[in-house]
Structure 1
Amino acid sequence: MTFNRVKRQVGILLILTGLLHTGVGLAIYMKLLTPIFSEGIWNTVQEGQWERLTSFWFLMFGFLLIMLGYITDWLVRKREISPPPALGWMLLLLCVVGAAAMPASGFWLCIPQAWILIRK
């Protein structure tokens, strides 16, 4: 598979990574998420509720990866525009810092994807 073909797939890879992240989050945090929804969502995640905050942001990060993947895929496939390398650099920085702070995490999965976005 040529590098250009791989670059065309990076949006889908980011979407799949986001779906995996969200699926893992739902599996791990379902017990914590249920009260958030049963209480009506509004103002149910507050400072000091560390378990709820963790579960909420875990799912939000997965959703953000899905959005980033969709936008990347749309640019590359529909508009035939390569995303700017700065997008890859920002994702790389986020994931390297995240992996350094939390080595036993999924941040490592996005580092190759960020590298693909950086490459021309």
Structure 2
Amino acid sequence: MSKISGTALIAIGLLHSLLALLMPGIFGFSDIWQDIAAAGVVDAASPESLRIWGYYWLLMPGFLLIPFGLLCYWIEHQLDLPLPSFVGWGLLAIALFGIVLDIDTGFWLVLVVAINAIVASRLKQKIV
């Protein structure tokens, strides 16, 4: 296991965000930008507009994963440490929950990162 968790999380976040922004139709959100414009953009993501609200929650995880991945990258490369085990376990819990709710999901990628983070953390503990 290596120091790839941060890089992988950044890549997943970028892929998720770019696909959601450039090809929303692959997620079932064709013409979503017209819906957002028709709703007036500001406060368009509301319970009254579940389609826009769903798209909003499609975008946000990808955007949030990028800075989290950058932090993980910094820990792995600048501090030369593995991620704390709680990061791996937290990612594992999130990934499993996402997979259980939707088996055909990108959370499988997060599952791989979680396992890598857990194993890397345990290997570092055994070496020290």
CA contact (8 A) 2:88 2:115 kept: yes
Q: Which amino acid aligns with 2:92?
A: L
1:115, 1:37 → 2: CA distance?
Answer: 41
Q: How high is the TM-score relative to the length of structure 1?
A: 0.84
> Aligned with 1:45: secondary structure?
coil
Based on CA coordinates, which of the two structures has the bigger radius of gyration?
Answer: 2
**Cα offset for 1:54?**
1.1
Instruction: Mark the CA change 1:82 to 1:40 in structure 2 (over 3 Å): closer, same or farther.
Output: farther
Unaligned runs of at least 5 residues, structure 1 = none
* 1:11–1:35 distance in 2 versus 1, CA, 3 Å: same
Aligned match of 1:24: 19
Gap change, CA 1:74 and 1:50, over 3 Å in 2: same
- Specify which structure has the higher proportion of helix: 1
Identity %: 28
Number of the residue aligned with 2:112? 112
User: Structure 1 residues 41 and 109, CA, compared in 2 at 3 Å: closer, same or farther?
Assistant: same
CA contact (8 A) 1:18 1:66 kept: yes
* Residue 61 (str. 1) matches residue 54 (str. 2): no
Q: Deviations over 1:46-99 (max 9, x none)?
A: 113111111111110101111211110011111223221101111110111101
Q: Structure 2: state its 5+ residue gaps.
A: 122-128
Equivalenced residues, count: 115
Q: Tell me what 1:10 maps to.
A: 5
Alignment of 1:62-101 (within 5 A): 62-101=62-101
State the AA in 1 paired with 2:68.
L
- Specify the SS of the correspondent of 2:115: helix
Secondary structure in 2 matching 1:47: coil
CA deviation after TM superposition for structure 1 residue 110, in Å: 0.7
TM-score by length of 2: 0.79
